[in-house]
């Protein structure tokens, strides 16, 4: 079946503009995660969804960042008034959402965001 898809694959924007990044998880996966990966660095947790609710938003770096998920499917990460330090690859992952297990996360290819 289809894996996790993300769009756009690349996004170049000007400082101060808003951007929306989209994630289509694997069908039936209840858990969805957003991460940020700066060049040469590891994954920085942003937000986690279980179904359509977000029990853990602790990683969102500022109030310019928000995310929503609808229909226990597609999720959108929105960054308002982008800054140059927002430049990074934004990765989405989905999983079966099973507690008490490894709950393997399946990652999409990421959206490479460049803020000029």
Partner 1 sequence: QKEVEQDPGPLSVPEGAIVSLNCTYSNSAFQYFMWYRQYSRKGPELLMYTYSSGNKEDGRFTAQVDKSSKYISLFIRDSQPSDSATYLCALKNTGGFKTIFGAGTRLFVKA
Is the Cβ–Cβ distance between 67 and 34 less than 8 Å? yes
DSSP three-state, residue 55: strand
- At residue 84, φ and ψ (nearest 5 deg) are -60, -30
Residue 41 within binding range of partner 1, rule CB under 8 A: yes
Is the Cβ–Cβ distance between 106 and 2 less than 8 Å? no
Q: Which of 48, 69, 75, 115 binds partner 1 (CB under 8 A)?
A: 48
Residue 20 within binding range of partner 1, rule CB under 8 A: no
- DSSP type of residue 99: T
Per-position x/- string for 67-96, each x denoting binding to partner 1 as judged by CB under 8 A, each - no binding = ------------------------x-x---
Q: Which residues bind partner 1 (CB under 8 A)?
A: 4, 31, 33, 35, 40-43, 45, 48, 50, 55-56, 91, 93, 97, 99-110
């Amino acid at each position: 079946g289809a894996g996790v898809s993300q769009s756009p694959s690349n996004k170049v924007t000007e400082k101060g503009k808003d951007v929306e990044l989209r994630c289509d998880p694997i069908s039936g996966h209840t858990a969805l995660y957003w991460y940020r990966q700066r060049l040469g660095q590891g994954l920085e947790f942003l937000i986690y969804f279980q179904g359509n609710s977000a029990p853990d938003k602790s990683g969102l770096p500022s109030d310019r960042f928000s995310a929503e998920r609808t229909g226990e499917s597609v999720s959108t990460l929105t960054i308002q008034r982008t800054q140059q330090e927002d430049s990074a690859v934004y990765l989405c992952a989905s999983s079966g959402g099973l507690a008490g297990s490894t709950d393997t996360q399946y990652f999409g290819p990421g959206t490479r965001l460049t803020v000029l």
